[in-house]
C-alpha cells in the first residue's frame, strides 16, 4: 500500500515534513519544481542508497539489542542483513554485489562503517526507550495534527534515555570533517526542532533535544563524532508558530 498523499488538492499541501518545509524556506521555486511538479534527477543517488542501508543496519542492531539479544549475535545478524540488502539483481536476472560509482560510499565502506560504529558505541550510555506498547523506540514514523490545515510528519531514528533526560538520536553520514562547525548547522534546524517536538508527542514527556551521531565517510577510514542540540519548550512553540506562517504562505 502506498503512503497517503500529503496534498488535498493540486498544489495544496497539508502534511509537511522537515524536507518539504526546508525546501520551501530555501526557495519557493525549487519547492514548486520538486514537490508540486515532481521533477527529480535521473538515476539512483548513491548518497541516498548509502544512507538508507546505513540506517537500516543500525536499526537492526538497535532493535535486536533492545529485545534482549547480546552484542555479538546482534552484530552478526546486522552484517548478514547488509550483505543481503546490497546484493543486487539486474533486469537480465544477473546478480552480484552492489557496485557504487562513488569512491568512498561503497558496499565495503558501508559495512565497515556500520561495524565500526557499533563497536565504538558498544557501551554507549544512551539506551533505547521502550514504549508503552512494549516495543523499542526505533525507526518511528510519526504523523500528528497541529490544526485542521496542518499535519506534521517524519521519521525518527531512535529515542533514547541519555544522562540527564530523553533525547532523539539521529544518525548522519557525511564527507565533511567533523568539527564543531559541522554541528552548528543543526542549531537552529527545521529537522531537529521537528524531531524534538514529535518525540514529545510520541513519548508524552519532555524531550531535551537531539543527539547527532555523525559518521565521516572517507576512502580509507570512517570517523565518528557526537553532538547535541537542545530545544526548550519556548523554542518549540516559537518554531511551531513560524511554521504555521510559512505553510500559510505556501
Q: For 132-167, write each residue's pLDDT tens digit.
A: 888 899 998 999 998 888 899 999 999 999 988 999
- What are the grid coordinates assigned to 74, written together? 546482534
Average pLDDT over residues 57-67: 94
Contact of 213 with 224, CB cutoff 8 Å: yes
- Percent helix / strand / coil, the chain, rounded to 5: 40, 25, 30
Give tens-digit pLDDT for 19-54: 999 999 999 999 999 888 888 877 778 999 999 999
Give tens-digit pLDDT for 183-192: 999 998 999 9
- Mean pLDDT over the full length of the chain: 91
pLDDT at 196 over 90: yes
Predicted local distance difference test score (pLDDT) of residue 79: 98
146, with CB counted inside 10 A (0-12, 13-18, 19+), is middle
Residue 4 — very low, low, confident or very high, per pLDDT cuts 50/70/90?
low
Predicted local distance difference test score (pLDDT) of residue 250: 84
17-21, 98-102, 145-149, 177-181: which range is least confident on average?
145-149
Predicted local distance difference test score (pLDDT) of residue 10: 67
Predicted local distance difference test score (pLDDT) of residue 35: 86
Predicted local distance difference test score (pLDDT) of residue 118: 96
Phi-psi region of 187 (alpha: psi -120 to 50; beta: other; left: phi over 0): beta
Predicted local distance difference test score (pLDDT) of residue 110: 97
Please state the pTM of the whole predicted model.
Answer: 0.89
pLDDT at 112 over 70: yes
Predicted local distance difference test score (pLDDT) of residue 206: 84
pLDDT at 11 over 70: no
Residue 216 — very low, low, confident or very high, per pLDDT cuts 50/70/90?
very high
| Exposure on the CB side of residue 87, measured as CA atoms within 13 A | 9
Predicted local distance difference test score (pLDDT) of residue 2: 57
Amino acid at each position: 500500500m502506498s503512503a497517503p498523499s500529503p496534498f488535498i488538492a493540486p498544489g495544496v499541501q497539508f502534511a509537511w515534513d522537515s524536507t518539504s518545509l526546508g525546501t520551501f524556506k530555501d526557495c519557493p521555486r525549487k519547492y514548486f519544481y520538486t514537490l508540486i511538479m515532481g521533477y527529480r534527477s535521473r538515476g539512483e543517488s548513491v548518497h541516498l542508497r548509502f544512507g538508507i542501508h546505513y540506517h537500516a543496519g543500525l536499526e537492526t542492531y538497535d532493535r535486536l539489542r533492545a529485545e534482549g539479544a547480546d552484542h555479538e549475535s546482534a552484530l552478526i545478524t546486522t552484517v548478514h542483513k547488509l550483505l543481503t540488502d546490497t546484493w543486487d539483481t539486474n533486469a537480465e536476472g544477473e546478480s552480484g554485489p552492489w557496485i557504487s560509482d562513488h569512491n568512498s560510499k561503497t558496499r565495503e565502506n558501508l559495512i565497515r562503517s556500520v561495524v565500526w560504529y557499533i563497536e565504538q558505541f558498544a557501551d554507549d550510555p544512551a539506551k533505547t526507550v521502550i514504549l508503552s506498547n512494549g516495543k523499542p523506540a526505533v525507526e518511528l514514523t510519526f504523523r500528528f495534527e497541529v490544526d485542521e490545515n496542518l499535519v506534521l510528519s517524519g521519521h525518527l531514528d531512535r529515542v533514547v534515555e541519555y544522562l540527564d533526560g530523553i533525547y532523539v538520536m539521529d544518525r548522519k553520514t557525511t564527507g565533511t570533517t567533523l568539527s564543531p562547525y559541522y554541528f552548528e548547522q543543526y542549531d537552529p534546524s527545521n529537522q531537529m526542532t521537528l524531531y524534538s517536538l514529535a518525540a514529545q508527542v510520541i513519548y508524552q514527556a519532555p524531550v531535551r533535544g537531539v543527539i547527532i551521531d555523525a559518521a565521516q565517510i572517507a576512502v580509507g577510514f570512517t570517523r565518528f563524532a557526537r553532538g547535541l542540540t537542545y530545544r526548550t519548550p519556548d523554542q518549540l512553540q516559537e518554531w511551531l508558530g513560524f511554521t504555521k506562517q510559512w505553510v500559510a504562505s505556501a
